[in-house]
Structure formats: C-alpha cells, structure tokens
C-alpha cells in the first residue's frame, strides 16, 4: 500500500508542476469553476423564490443537494483524473508498458496522478456546506455521520463507473465520450430527483444511481431516509463495484497489445 501511495504522490507532484506552469491558466480555470457554481446557485435561488419550494424541498435543502453533487463530482475528478488520460495509453501502446510493471495496472490507471486544481474549490465548498447545515432544522450528529457514510458510498459508485470505463477503453479504445455521458447524467442530480416524472426519477435513482449518490446522503442528513434505503444503497454500490471489476478482468483477457 505504501508503494502505491508513494507512486501516487510522485505522479501527482509532477502533474501539479505541469498545471502550475501557467499561472494565468490556473487563475482562469479556477474563476471559470467558481463563476459556473455561482450562476447555477443563483438560478436555484431564483427558482425556489418564484415557486416557494421545488418538489417539496425548501431553498436550503435544494442548496444542500447542489453542494452534495459538487462534492461528489469534484472528489471523483480529483481521485480518478488518470482515467481521462487512459485512451492515449491504449492508442499509443503505453498500456503494454504498464502491464510489464510490478504494480496493478488497474490501480495505476485509476490513481496515476491527481490534479490539485480539482481541489481548489473543494475547501470553500465544505465551508459553505457547514453553513448550509446550520440553516437547516433537525440536523443531528447521526444524520451527519450517515451523510458522510453515504457520500463515501457515492464515491464507491463513481469508482465502479470509472473501472467500467477503463475496461471499455481496453476493448474499444473509447473513454472520453463514456465519461462525459455519465457526467451529464450525474448532473441531473444537481436538482432534486423528485422533480423528474416517473419512470425517469426511478431510473435516475436505481438504474443510473444518481439519486443514490446525491439525494440519499441529503435525505440521511435531514433524517428522512429509512434504514432499508441505506441497505439498498450499499447493496447497489457493492454489486456495481464487483460487476465493474469482473468487466475489467474480462477486458484484459480480450486485450490485443499494440505490438500484436
């Protein structure tokens, strides 16, 4: 484990140096993310003020859902940034080189270096999250604990998806479009899933588990999520993770190296 942590730190350090080579690029990238966040937040505020509530959620509950989406999105991008570079490894034949190394090709392809720029907006986001919790009634220590637990579960689902994308990349060299399609589907969770009509809301909860990743943690924090729903959330994440690992092993067996 120490070997992989050391490898991750070294590669993250190199990627960070490349990212900060252009200071103006860092500034504009950060400003772009902040401006996009503020504009959508203002949209939510205006929407709730005009309708008084969105699918039964108050303003601060809607904001909590939006913040949860952002935390899942930012943390997963930070952890699994190497997946975005995976297609170039397959096309160029560099993946053959990874297979010869005494490290897991899966872990190397998942955690081959993170971009700290993805974390710049996370810390103020956490501060805003704490402030939002203070504006809500009925928040308990147990609710916050379950929120963190289900947020971790959401990251497990994101891990399963990224492993599936890596397997897909090995088979058909397609990575980028699959990632962006899933990210666009996940973005539907920026607002309450209850806004969408059936059967779409059911699909976004259990088939494409956006609701489990975004809405369930919020419901747990508010104290309105049942114990059975928590069990279902972890069962689904476990099934998705095991399925993605099986698909990864299958894809490796079908892999034809660049030299063959």
The answer to which of 49-58, 78-87, 88-97 has the lowest mean pLDDT is 49-58
β strands within the chain, DSSP E: none
Query: What is the per-residue pLDDT for 260?
Result: 52
In the chain, the largest separation of any two C-alpha atoms, in whole Å, equals 63
Domain residues for the domain of 112 are 2-254
Instruction: Let me know: does 112 contact 94? Beta carbons within 8 Å.
Output: no
The alpha carbon of residue 251 and the mean position of all alpha carbons in its chain are separated, in whole angstroms, by 23
What's the pLDDT band for 258 if we cut at 50, 70, 90?
low
In whole angstroms, what is the distance from residue 41 CA to residue 153 CA? 25
User: Does 259 map to a domain?
Assistant: no
Q: Which residue has the higher pLDDT, 188 or 25?
A: 188
Instruction: Let me know: does 216 contact 193? Beta carbons within 8 Å.
Output: no
Place of tokens 């996370």: 122
Query: What is the per-residue pLDDT for 57?
Result: 87
Is the pLDDT confidence value at 118 over 90? no
Cβ burial of 177 (10 Å; 0-12, 13-18, 19+) is: exposed
In whole angstroms, what is the distance from residue 175 CA to residue 166 CA? 7
In whole angstroms, what is the distance from residue 96 CA to residue 93 CA? 6
| Structure confidence by residue, pLDDT tens digits, 138-160 | 899 999 999 999 999 999 999 99
Q: Mean of the per-residue pLDDT values for the chain?
A: 85
Is the pLDDT confidence value at 259 over 60? no
Is the pLDDT confidence value at 251 over 80? yes
User: Does 260 map to a domain?
Assistant: no
Q: Which residue has the higher pLDDT, 99 or 165?
A: 165
pTM of this prediction?
Answer: 0.89
Using alpha carbons, list the distances in angstroms from residue 81 to 55, 101, 110, 238, 247.
Answer: 34, 21, 7, 22, 20
Query: What is the per-residue pLDDT for 242?
Result: 97
> Could you write out the DSSP letters of every residue in 143-186?
HHHHHHHHHHHHHHHHHHHHHHHHHHHHHHS--HHHHHHHHHHH
Percent of the chain with pLDDT over 70: 92
Per-range mean pLDDT, top range of 2-6, 112-116, 136-140: 136-140
What is the crossing angle of helices 59-79 and 23-51, to 10°? 150
Nearest to 106 by CA among 249, 259, 260: 249
In whole angstroms, what is the distance from residue 253 CA to residue 251 CA? 5
User: Does 168 map to a domain?
Assistant: yes
Q: Which two tokens stand for residue 46?
A: 């205006």
User: Does 12 map to a domain?
Assistant: yes
In whole angstroms, what is the distance from residue 227 CA to residue 233 CA? 10
Percent of the chain with pLDDT over 90: 37
In whole angstroms, what is the distance from residue 126 CA to residue 144 CA? 13
User: Does 183 map to a domain?
Assistant: yes
Instruction: Let me know: does 72 contact 155? Beta carbons within 8 Å.
Output: yes
The domain total for the chain is 1
């Amino acid at each position: 484990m120490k070997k992989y942590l050391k490898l991750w730190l070294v590669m993250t350090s190199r990627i960070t140096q490349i990212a900060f080579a252009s200071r103006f690029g860092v500034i504009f990238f950060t400003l772009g993310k902040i401006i996009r966040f503020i504009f959508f937040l203002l949209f939510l505020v205006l929407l709730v003020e005009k309708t008084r509530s969105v699918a039964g959620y108050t303003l601060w509950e809607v904001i909590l859902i939006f913040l949860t989406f952002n935390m899942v999105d930012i943390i997963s991008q930070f952890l699994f940034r190497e997946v975005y570079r995976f297609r170039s490894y397959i096309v160029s034949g560099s993946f053959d080189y990874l297979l010869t190394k005494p490290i897991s090709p899966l872990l190397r392809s998942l955690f081959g270096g993170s971009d700290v720029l993805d974390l710049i907006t996370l810390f103020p986001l956490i501060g805003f999250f704490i402030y939002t919790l203070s504006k809500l009634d009925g928040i308990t220590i147990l609710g916050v604990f379950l929120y963190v637990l289900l947020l971790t579960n959401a990251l497990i689902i994101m891990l399963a998806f990224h492993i599936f994308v890596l397997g897909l990349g090995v088979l058909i060299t397609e990575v980028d479009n699959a990632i962006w399609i899933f990210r666009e589907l996940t973005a539907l969770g920026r607002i309450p899933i209850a806004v969408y009509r059936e059967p779409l809301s059911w699909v976004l909860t259990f088939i494409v588990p956006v609701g489990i990743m975004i809405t369930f943690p919020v419901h747990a924090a508010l104290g309105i999520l049942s114990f059975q729903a928590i069990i279902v959330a972890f069962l689904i994440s476990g099934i998705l993770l095991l399925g993605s690992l099986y698909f990864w092993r299958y894809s490796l067996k079908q892999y034809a190296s660049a030299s063959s």
